[in-house]
Amino acid sequence: MFDKFVKLYNGVKMPILGFGTDYLSGDMAYEAVISAIKAGYRAIDTAAIYKNENDIGRAIKKCIDDGIVKREELFIITKSHWFFPGYEETLNSFEQSLKKLGLDYIDLFLLHHPFCEWPSWRKDIAYSWRAMEELYNNKKTRAIGISNFRWPYFDVVFNSGKILPMVHQVELHPQYKNKEAVEPCLERNIKIMAWSPLNKGKVLEDKTVKSLALKYSKTPAQIALRWNIQSGNALVVKSCNIDRINSNYQIWNFELSDEDMKKLNSIKPCYNGIRLDEAVLVGDLSKSRYFSILENYINRTYSKNFKLFGVIPFFKIIRKNANEVVYYLFNIPICKAKIKYYNQAIWSENG
């Protein structure tokens, strides 16, 4: 019988296999999370920028109220807002997530992104991580971590902070080993958690994965997920299909041989990758090779509101797409502006 939990370096037990929720929203997110919990998943992964924390909170409450699971049996993961770097901004992002999820505490809170496209990224990481440490020390979250980091962004967290991350969540699957992000963490006893463990379905078409699926009488997805677990990683896998949600959880009754693990380790790279080393730090972010991933989040709407005497709304700024900001006076549009890069520390998310 395989252990379904891993112990983080601070002693907290975390489920190895979690359920991911990016791009799930509304009733789809609600139903998917309920189905996942019924299937056996106990770790649920979300983020402020996914804009589904309210829906996931409803699903969690439903499962607890119906006696399917107890709160202490769940391991809820969320992340600071991608566009809110800074000390106060990170604290505020946490409180908003906590409220939307309807919880008293978070099990794992991650710094979602190293802000590498911001000119002030070193300061932003340092101040954001200071807030993460404060949340952990105040026992508002049981563990803290990072997501999508590598050098030189690691350097700020590792050397300016007093507490090392407990978890690092990165893209990781048989077609992308992501050594630059993984190895510095393993050296420091930081647990790796894989996102996109199926490479958005691409890994399911790999001939090695498909042949091993036939050999073990498993699905290609189960082979790929098992590879991550036997590589020593935790992971989150997403689906809105009930059959696949159940199937993806059924990976505990078999083990890949050492020889077959070597075959999977030798698969040719093919990744969606957030290549932070190739990001444009200053200037037009669209020149970055990972803009196609970032734009899915950037194209969501963010706003900042101003009030007279803290009561009467009179001025509003809305960023409606990746490179346009509209200014409103008493809800009348008065000006449009183009932006070159996304220094968005001032924005708050609609909804």
145 and 101 in a common domain? yes
Asked if residue 255 belongs to a domain, the reply is: yes
Asked if residue 281 belongs to a domain, the reply is: yes
Active site residues: 50
According to the model, what pLDDT value does residue 182 have?
95
- The domain of 314 spans 276-349
CATH number, domain at 91?
3.20.20.100
Asked if residue 271 belongs to a domain, the reply is: no
Asked if residue 270 belongs to a domain, the reply is: no
197 and 133 in a common domain? yes
Asked if residue 188 belongs to a domain, the reply is: yes
255 and 177 in a common domain? yes
Q: Which of 265, 296, 327 is the last residue of a domain?
A: 265
245 and 317 in a common domain? no
77 and 203 in a common domain? yes
235 and 117 in a common domain? yes
Q: Which of 265, 288, 319 is the last residue of a domain?
A: 265
Asked if residue 127 belongs to a domain, the reply is: yes
Q: Which of 200, 235, 265 is the last residue of a domain?
A: 265
Asked if residue 126 belongs to a domain, the reply is: yes
Number of domains in the chain: 2
According to the model, what pLDDT value does residue 287 have?
43
291 and 255 in a common domain? no
120 and 22 in a common domain? yes
Digitized pLDDT (tens) for each residue of the chain, 351 residues in all: 578 999 999 999 999 999 999 989 899 999 999 999 999 999 999 999 898 999 999 999 999 999 999 999 999 999 998 777 899 999 999 999 999 999 999 999 999 988 766 678 899 999 999 999 999 999 999 999 999 998 889 999 999 899 999 999 999 999 999 999 999 999 999 999 999 999 989 999 999 999 999 999 999 999 999 999 999 999 999 999 999 999 999 999 999 999 999 999 999 887 654 444 433 333 344 444 444 445 555 555 656 667 777 678 877 777 655 567 787 888 888 887 765 443 333 334 433
What pTM does this model have?
0.82
310 and 243 in a common domain? no
Q: SS3 letters for the chain?
A: CCCCEEECCCCCEEECEEEECCCCCHHHHHHHHHHHHHHCCCEEECCHHHCCHHHHHHHHHHHHHCCCCCHHHCEEEEECCCCCCCHHHHHHHHHHHHHHHCCCCEEEEEECCCCCCCCCHHHHHHHHHHHHHHHHHCCCEEEEEEECCCCCHHHHHHHHCCCCCCEEEEECECCECCHHHHHHHHCCCCEEEEECCCHHHHHHHCHHHHHHHHHHCCCHHHHHHHHHHHCCCEEEECCCCHHHHHHHHCCCCCCCCHHHHHHHHCCCCCCCCCCHHHCCCCCCHHHCCCHHHHHHHHCCCEEEEEEECCCEEEEEEEEEECCEEEEEECCEEEEEEECCCCCCCCCEECC
221 and 303 in a common domain? no
Asked if residue 131 belongs to a domain, the reply is: yes
305 and 238 in a common domain? no
291 and 154 in a common domain? no
According to the model, what pLDDT value does residue 83 have?
74
According to the model, what pLDDT value does residue 212 have?
98
